[in-house]
Structure 1
Amino acid sequence: MSLHKDSELKAAVLNLPPKEKDKLLVRLISKDKMLIKQLHFQLLEDEVDLEERINALRERLNELFEPNRSGIKNVAMYSHYRALTVLLRQASGMINEHEKVTKDKFSESEFRLLILEAAFEHYPILFQKTYVAAADKLQRYVAARLKTTFNKYDKLHEDLQFDLKESYEKVLAFAEEHGLIIS
C-alpha cells in the first residue's frame, strides 16, 4: 500500500513527534541501499567528490573492457558473443547506478559512448553479420543501447555535445557500417 493512497496514515505520520519521525525515517532509509547512496551523495558530497566518482568509474570501465582482463577474444565464437553481452550489461548496470546516484547526464552519456566505443574497438569481428544466435542477441542488445545512448546525447546541451562529438561520431560510423542502427 502506498502512503499517498492512505491519507489517514500520512496525516498520522506527519503528526508524529520529531524524535519518533527521525527514528522511523532512519529505519526506512536503511532498508533501501540505493536511497542511502543517493542521500549520501546529495547531503555529504560536492563537485570534487563527483569528479572523483567520474574518474573512478571511467577507470573501472576501461579496465573492464581491457581485452587481456576480460578474456574475450576478437574471434567469432559463441562464447565470445555471450561474454561480450554479459560484459556490456555489467558496464551498463554500473552506469545506471552512477546516474541514479549523481543525476549527472553528461557523464552518463560519456560512459555509454565509452563502453560502446571500447566494444567496437576491441571486438569488431563480433559485430559482423553471422548466423550465430548469440551474435544476433548481442547485436540486438547493442542496437538498443545505441538508440538509448543517442537519445541521451541528443538531449544534452550543444556545448556538452561538442565535448563528446568525437566519440559519438566514431560510435555512429561503426554502427552504421555494421548495420546496428534501428529506427
Structure 2
Amino acid sequence: MAKIEKELQQAIVAMPQKEKDKLLLRLIGKDDILIQQLTFTLVEESLTMESRRDDIKVLIDKLYDTTNYSSGYLMMDMRYTNAEITRHVKVTKDKYGEVELTLKLLKECFEKQLKWIEKYSSKSDTLALYVVKRTDFLLKKVVKMHPDIQFDFHADMNTLLEYLHKYATAYYAKELQMPKKFEIAESDM
C-alpha cells in the first residue's frame, strides 16, 4: 500500500464533504472484501454470522456428497472451499468459525471420501500433504484459543489426528511432527 504524503492528506481532509463521500464510495467499490466487511458490520449488523457459517457447511456437505473423479479434483475442491472459509474470516473476523469449518472440511475428507486418501500412492500424495499441512495450520489456530473454546474442538481434533496417523497422510504427519493427541492447554485464570 502506498504511503500518502502529509500534504495530500491535508488536502483530502480539506475537501468538501460531498466530494470526500464520492471519492470514498468509488474507492470502496474497488475492494470486494471491504464491501463485504462493511455490509456485514453496517447493514447486517453482524447478525448473520451463523447463517454465513451454515452456508459454508452446506458447501462442505456438497463437496463430499458429490462423486469425485480423482484425489486431484478432490483437493482442488477442498482448496476452493478453504478459500471460502478464508473469505468468511476476512469478512467477519470469525476465528471460532474458521476452526470449526476447517476442522469439518478436513475430518470429513476421511469420513466421506476415504478412498482417495486411504492408502498411499502417487495419486494420493499431493492430497495427503495438503491435508497434513492444513491440519498443522488448524492446530496452530486452536492452540491460541482459550482452553474453554479448545474443549469444544477436543474430540474432533483427536479424531482428525487419529485419521492423520492412520492413512496415507501418516508419512507427512510424522515428517511434520504432528501430535497423535490434542491436549488442551492449562488455563491461566
State the match for 2:139 in structure 1. Answer: 150
State the match for 1:137 in structure 2. Answer: 126
Query: Separation in 1 of the partners of 2:114 and 2:128?
Result: 12
SS at match of 1:48: coil
Offset at residue 56 of structure 1 (A): 2.1
State the match for 1:60 in structure 2. Answer: 59
What TM-score results when the alignment is normalised by the length of structure 2? 0.83
State the match for 2:156 in structure 1. Answer: 167
The answer on 1:102 being equivalent to 2:92 is yes
Gaps of 5+ in 1: 73-78
Q: After superposition, give the CA deviation of every residue in 1:38-86 in whole Å (9 maximum; x if it has no partner).
A: 11111122353112212222122212221xx2x22xxxxxx51111111
Task: Identify which of 90, 113, 116 aligns with 1:123.
Answer: 113
Do the aligned partners of 2:40 and 2:46 also contact (CA within 8 Å) in 1?
no
Bigger helix fraction: 1
Query: Separation in 1 of the partners of 2:96 and 2:22?
Result: 36
State the match for 1:24 in structure 2. Answer: 23
Which residue identity does 1:172 align to in structure 2?
L
Query: Separation in 1 of the partners of 2:149 and 2:45?
Result: 20
SS at match of 1:65: helix
Offset at residue 87 of structure 1 (A): 1.4
Which residue identity does 1:57 align to in structure 2?
I
Offset at residue 130 of structure 1 (A): 3.2
Gaps of 5+ in 2: 178-189
SS at match of 2:47: helix
Q: After superposition, give the CA deviation of every residue in 1:2-51 in whole Å (9 maximum; x if it has no partner).
A: 1x242222222122111111110001101111110011111122353112
Which residue identity does 1:119 align to in structure 2?
C
Over the aligned positions, Cα root-mean-square deviation in angstroms equals 1.7
Q: For this pair of structures, how many residues does the alignment match?
A: 172
Q: Which has the higher contact order (CA 8 A, sep 6+)?
A: 1
Q: Percent identity over the alignment?
A: 33
Query: Separation in 2 of the partners of 1:32 and 1:84?
Result: 30
